[in-house]
Amino acid sequence: MNTEYNFNVKKKRPEEEYGKVSDYFRGDILNQYATSKNMMKIQEKITIRALELLDIKKKDALILDAGSGPGFAATYLKEIGYRIVALDIIPEFLYYYEIKELNPITADMCFPPFKPNTFDAIISISALQWIFRDLKDKMMYSMLKNLSISFYKILKPNGRVVIQFYPKNKEIMDNTGKIIVKHTDFSGNFIIDNPNRQKKRKIFLLLNKNRNF
């Protein structure tokens, strides 16, 4: 397998163009995202794969959906029997649908307001590129560090995290993993589906609170 994946992204991604996520997801763009049946299907498919990687044994596990948007992943997880907390930094997303049963909460996922040892698992779909995308940016580094420490703290022992995201290149991808592991006792690895088909490629970072897995 070729490990030097082609990251030749020609079009600027929204996070590069806008910087602040709330400057991008607002008005028509927010509405289009939240109401897109196609997007719902795509995000649900990613969630199914993420869940497969998490391999949760407990039927009624409590899962945090970090960067939940309008709740596509969270709704699916709830439907199949998990208990969910849907967290997003943009309140309009969380109140787009009637999702009270997803326990919606407006917060920054780098500072999740929960007690230690709360969640069996954390899932984050297509959000992390908004937090860390520039190796030289100290603020981004410190936000990612904070996210890592917080995720570690709020997970129960043996809890797992799966993060699907869109790093701009392999250097950013690798450094994301390194920074998370450096500041916590997580063990982790990347799982890359369709590594050599850029359009279909999906990158997952799987983290485990127990180093001996």
The residue type found at 88 is: D
Q: Is 90 in the site for ligand SAM (CB under 6 A)?
A: yes
Q: Which of 52, 50, 21 is nearest to 128 (CA)?
A: 21
Of 3-62, which residues contact ligand SAM (CB under 6 A)? 21, 25, 43
CA 26 – CA 33 distance, rounded (Å): 10
Q: Does residue 102 bind ligand SAM (CB under 6 A)?
A: no
Work out the burial of residue 58: count CB atoms within 10 Å of its CB; fewer than 13 is exposed, 13-18 middle, 19 or more buried. Answer: exposed
Tokens in use for 142? 């410190």
Number of residues in contact with ligand SAM, rule: CB under 6 A? 20
The total number of residues shown for the chain amounts to: 213
Helix (H) or strand (E) holding 1: none
- Closest approach, Cβ 138 to ligand SAM, in A, equals 16
The residue behind tokens 């984050």 is 124
Q: How far is the CB of 74 from ligand SAM (least distance, A)?
A: 8
Which parts of 138-197 interact with ligand SAM (CB under 6 A)? none
Q: Which is nearer to ligand SAM, 142 or 196 (CB)?
A: 142
Q: How far apart are CA 44 and CA 16, in angstroms?
A: 25
Nearer to ligand SAM, 88 or 120 (CB): 88
Question: In the complex with ligand SAM, which residue's Cβ is closer, 43 or 148?
Answer: 43
- Decide: is 205 part of the binding site for ligand SAM (CB under 6 A): no
Given the complex with ligand SAM, which of 127 and 173 has the nearer CB atom? 127
Chain position carrying tokens 């049946």 = 37
Residues that bind ligand SAM (CB under 6 A): 21, 25, 43, 67-69, 72-73, 88-90, 93, 108-110, 125-127, 130-131
